[in-house]
Amino acid sequence: MQAKVAANEKTRNSINNAFASNFAKSMFLSVSGLIILSFIGTRMFTHVDLNLYGYMVGTIVFISGFFYRFIAWGERPPTKIFIKKGIKLLFRKSTPKTSVEHLATHKFIWNRGIYRWTQHFLIGWGCILSCFVTFPLVFGWMYFTMGDNGYYTVVGMGMNLMTVKADGIIAFFFYNALNFTAIMVISGVCMAMYRRMKNMQARAEQKFVYDFLPLYLLLFVSITGLALTFMNVFLHGAGQPVMSLIHQYSVIVTLIYLPFGKLAHIPFRPLSVFAKNYREHYQEQAPFKCKVCGDTYVSTEQTQDVVGVLSVNDISFQTKEGHQLAEMCLPCRRKYRIAQFSGIQTHEIKYKEANQNAKG
């Protein structure tokens, strides 16, 4: 048994030694996977649309940026803990429900108000559906062929999936899928921009580069995409070549920016399921009570993990009473900080603030 484990460890190390870093290994495997899938999907590269070459390059750059940020973030001690334990808890009974609430219905936003939920839902699903349509077309995983009988054949991964009438309702939705998602994104972005300009709390916290620039990029991509359809249908293609380049450049710039700005939370969002499973599972096993007020607020496992991560970095927040700051609930931590400046002992501050309900 030990010999088998040693052999597996040796093989794993030999693979890792073939690359300069985890980033290099991730990029090599990802690009190789894309090439293989494109080879299969395009029937040995016989159906490649060179007009989409720019989008392909932008996507590869996006993948590079995503792995760079993910690996840098994933190497942090606290991230390693919750990812490792989140993978172990991935097959909990509550995982499907949590996945639907966090990734599909966005229920976690509902408590903040129906207006914010609507804008978040429109932007989120508008972007996701656009990717589901665009990436298969860009890499040749899906394309259309047309015969002499007025029917389109939908080809997916090199296989003929279905045949649809060129002027039928199904073909209409195929043609206009990106137009529908563009309308969703424009609606959601306009709602978000209106809120950021009118809501006083949002106005106080927002920054142009971090908060407004992503919205402007999404808006510009969506508007130029709709402009292409408008020029094709109503202007008989006039100005379409120039607008096509403008739209392509806007998409490429957005893809390059995406891993490094606020929009990065879109590809990172599935990890929220890991975090939710981590909190719920260990909370059910062994809830932890605050050392000051006795209220239950996290799990014993999470408290120990926080103290352990801090000790790895040679950081200790031990109070005069002998317990760690992580062993106190948030209101008691705030009272403790007040006590350091006021001289009043933490336990003598009777008032316990209520949690804020962020709505609006």
The predicted-structure confidence for 256-276, as pLDDT tens digits, reads as follows 898 888 888 888 888 888 888
Contacts of residue 273, Cβ cutoff 8 Å, sequence gap at least 6 = 86, 90, 95, 98, 99, 102, 103
Which segments of the chain belong to CATH 1.20.950?
21-268
The answer, yes or no, to whether residue 106 has pLDDT greater than 80, is yes
Higher pLDDT, 2 or 132: 132
d(CA 335, CA 349): 7
d(CA 175, CA 169): 10
Fold of 21-268: Fumarate Reductase Cytochrome B subunit (1.20.950)
How many beta carbons lie within 10 A of that of residue 215, not counting itself? 19
> 3-class DSSP state for residue 156?
strand
Highest mean pLDDT among 42-46, 201-205, 286-290, 306-310: 286-290
Output the pLDDT for position 51. 79
Output the pLDDT for position 117. 92
- Give the length of the chain: 360
Report the percentage of the chain scoring pLDDT > 90. Answer: 16
Token pair of 150, please?
């007025």
DSSP states along 65-108: HHHHHHHHHHTSHHHHHHHHHHHHTTT-TTHHHHHIIIIIS-HH
The answer, yes or no, to whether residue 345 has pLDDT greater than 50, is yes
The answer, yes or no, to whether residue 357 has pLDDT greater than 60, is no
Q: For 313-341, what is the mean pLDDT? A: 79
Rounded to whole angstroms, the maximal C-alpha distance in the chain is: 87
Output the pLDDT for position 129. 92
Q: For the segment 215-229, what is each residue's pLDDT rounded down to a tens digit?
A: 999 999 999 999 999
Q: For the segment 187-197, what is each residue's pLDDT rounded down to a tens digit?
A: 999 999 888 88
